[in-house]
Structure 1
Amino acid sequence: MSPTKWDGPELIWRGKPSEAPSCSSVGLWPPLSHWGDDSVTYYAVGDFYSDLKPGGACPGCACTPPQCAMPEYLAYTVLELDDPRNRPGERCEADLYFGAFDGFETAGAWDGTCLRHDAVPAAPLATAFVHPSASAALCEPFTSPAGLDALVDTVWRVCGKSFSLERECDDSVERCMPAAPEGFRYCLTLLTEGEPYDEPTQCPPSYPERSQVFRYISGCDPCACTTVTPPECTVSLSRYRDPECNDLISTDTVFEPDEGGHWAMHGRTCLEMPAEGTVGGVSATAVTHREGACEVAGGDQVAEPQLEGRYVLCCEAAPGG
């Protein structure tokens, strides 16, 4: 079988469903797939399963609530008009007629730690526009770990990690991959559904441990979640004169998102700019005033549960193995 058919390597944890770590708890991100036209309905399709127990029932569904998240980018809009309705520390109530646009995008997910800010708005007053991470307004579905314990012996938790490769790694990706978190191993995956399982699928030497696993649990309605109430959040934004964030200018509250879970285009927070017109660095802290709420659907049993979507995994040897 051609090695080009292998996908991965993926970071995978193997064990009892109720003991599986969340991806975020080990600094990784869960693989999610978006099905259909509903932008707030997502199905978590990352895990694999094996060792079905006889007589098991559908495990049931639950949702992780939408969370307040740090912004993906921050922008200053410099006000062109001096309007008395726009007061520092409050929402800018006047129409935004602006003559300059300064700001920056964060390099991926921002945790609020100090970032260099090269924009130099030359105005006494500006507005702050902070756009949160797209994941902030999502309710994410998951199957009940206790219910999975009664249905299967083993879950294969799949997590992702973003990392860049140096130029010298182009011809040897494995050599430059970051170390796997404790309990995780790198594995290659191969879809074999619809093909004879006895067709040769020899594992590469660096991934010698071969296992048959399954992607889906049939007989159960898929889990889905809809956001009923978005979280109510604010961001405390600190601005500094220096890029190392030592010389504080001020700390201001940037107001909560609108009903759609996005920071309002109008009614942005008015910020007083320093007299010298220089902002060298910024930091931020997210504050949750009200957690979001979700509505769960799916998980009903419509037939005897079965494992479907057959894959072959080839994993690194276990440490000490």
Structure 2
Amino acid sequence: MTLSKLKHDFTEIFPGLIMCIIIAYTSKFIGSYIPMIGGATLSILMGILVGNTIGKSKIYGKGTKFCESTLLSYSIVLLGGTLSIKTILSLGISGLSYIIIQMAITIFVAIYLGKKFGFSQDFGLLMASGNAVCGSSAIASTAPAIGASDRDKGIAITIVNLVGTILMLLLPLISFALYSFDTLKTSALIGGVLQSVGQVVASGAIVNEGVKDLATIFKIVRVIFLVFVVLSLSAYKHNSNSKEAKDGNENKKVKVKIPWYVTGFFIMCFLFSFSIIPAEGSKIFKLISNNFEIIALAGIGMRVNFSDLMKEGLKTSLYGLCISAFQILSALILIAVLI
């Protein structure tokens, strides 16, 4: 990459990045005086407020996207350098069973409700993968595997992200009412229901540091199943369409990549577990991770556009909300039985 290209990219990112930094540290400062709300919650809410008012300009788009995706990804990788393998293994068979069953229920419900609402099969499958695994990343991986249109992909990403934002703020309230913020149960609820990694980090941070870290582990385990889910949905699509099968599409090779930050997280976790990363280094990683995180939360907030939800119509929005309602219900039942 040339120096001029780097300069051009930085110029495009800079306005949105600076806006997110201002929102993040203003929220952090105010949050220090209102610890019951905290800087993380304020960063999201202030981001939403700014993003839907004075921050609507496209000039902020590249920067907020950088914060929402790249900075958050680095934050997750650095978080791995503060957690041991023992913490991940503490999920146990019950935690893994909870994740697998919860994902299976989500996929079944999304496909079933998609048919009942009269949506196309492709749209239902995209909503299934997005809600079951990891939001936009899962939808983007599933779309080419099932031959979905760009329109279906775009609408699915919009609905999953916007409904996920509502749940991001709602789940801590449910957890407080039912579990009094019990770390394991709250983490299982947030990490097992929310669609994107960013939403999990944001929602967990609203509660406390311990919940944020453990909920992220629940979520990352879900992301590991991305390959299996995409291949399964692709097989389901092609097997249910005999014409496509006759055309030879059943032999279509599907390429799915696990997000790089998941690999990075486990590498850092391994290094910390075997003391290759010293305790002092881990503290530095934690500090940097937390700072990246609060800036990323501002970016997540700024990229929530409620007018997009209105554009997609009541029927589509209701479909997304119904899937999430079933996700919450099934998670509460499974947590009661398994966690």
TM-score range with shorter-chain normalisation? under 0.3
- Could you say which structure has the larger radius of gyration? 1
